[in-house]
Amino acid sequence: MNLDHVFVCGNPALDFAATLQARRSVRFEMWVTPDRLDAWYVESGIVDAVSPGEEADVERARTVREAIYRLVTARRLGEAYDGTALTLVNDAARKPPAVPRLTPAGRWTQATQDEALSMVARHAVELLSGPDVPLLKECGNPECTRVYLDRSRGMRRQWCGMDSCGNRIKAAAYRARKKTAPVAARTDEAD
């Protein structure tokens, strides 16, 4: 079941936090039903299968997601962690993760909702305590609030992804230049 989740941030915890989009303007919630959360866990590659979620699982995931976002933002800005957010992420990470099994077809990871959430929280702990912290950047699109890992040469990446934000910003800039180009040309001719 593909629900068009986007994975451009470079880390599952960052992609998890990005499921609430445009936090500064018209918020867009990706997890409107439990099956959307279930699909995210599978599409992200965190697990191969997850037990069906319920509304309580969605609420718990949203709470942990917002805690991850607050911690990532604080770390990116060099600010102190929010104690409540720290507790929420650590409590989720403390639960047992899903255990992969080897099958004749390869690796298979089946998870409960708590196990899948624990795996995401563990990714957040590893990210925020590891060497990739200096690579954390927020998308340059003013409407986007995704945080991503900038692994580009020279760390000059400006957008979370070209397909999502980069092309939109570049197209808008092009249209703005085209609108002002004739005006500028007429002003030059009048001189």
Report the phi/psi class of residue 78: left, alpha or beta, with left for phi > 0 and alpha for psi in -120 to 50. left
Looking only at the bridges linking them, the beta strands covering 49-50 and 110-111 are parallel
The full set of domain ranges for the chain reads: 12-190
- Give 85 or 28, the one with higher predicted confidence: 85
Q: What is the pLDDT of residue 1?
A: 42
Q: What is the residue whose two structure tokens read 């445009």?
A: 22
Report the phi/psi class of residue 80: left, alpha or beta, with left for phi > 0 and alpha for psi in -120 to 50. beta
Q: What is the pLDDT of residue 36?
A: 96
Fold topology of 12-190: Jann2411-like fold (1.10.3300)
Angle, helices 83-94/55-77, rounded to nearest 10 degrees = 120
If one counts every other C-beta atom within 10 angstroms of the C-beta of residue 80, the result is 8
Cα 137–chain centre separation: 11
The tens digit of pLDDT for each residue in 122-140 reads 999 999 999 999 999 999 8
Query: Residue 157's pLDDT band (boundaries 50, 70, 90)?
Result: confident
Cα separation of 143 and 22, whole Å? 5
The tens digit of pLDDT for each residue in 80-96 reads 999 999 999 999 999 99
Q: pTM for the complete prediction?
A: 0.83
- With CA atoms as reference, report the closest residue to 44 among 72, 2, 73: 2
pLDDT at 70 over 70: yes
Cα separation of 26 and 127, whole Å? 28
Query: Residue 38's pLDDT band (boundaries 50, 70, 90)?
Result: very high
Query: Residue 161's pLDDT band (boundaries 50, 70, 90)?
Result: confident
3-state secondary structure of 52: coil
Residue 139 makes CB contacts below 8 A (sequence gap 6+) with: 145, 146, 147, 148, 158, 159, 160, 165
The tens digit of pLDDT for each residue in 102-122 reads 999 999 999 999 999 999 999
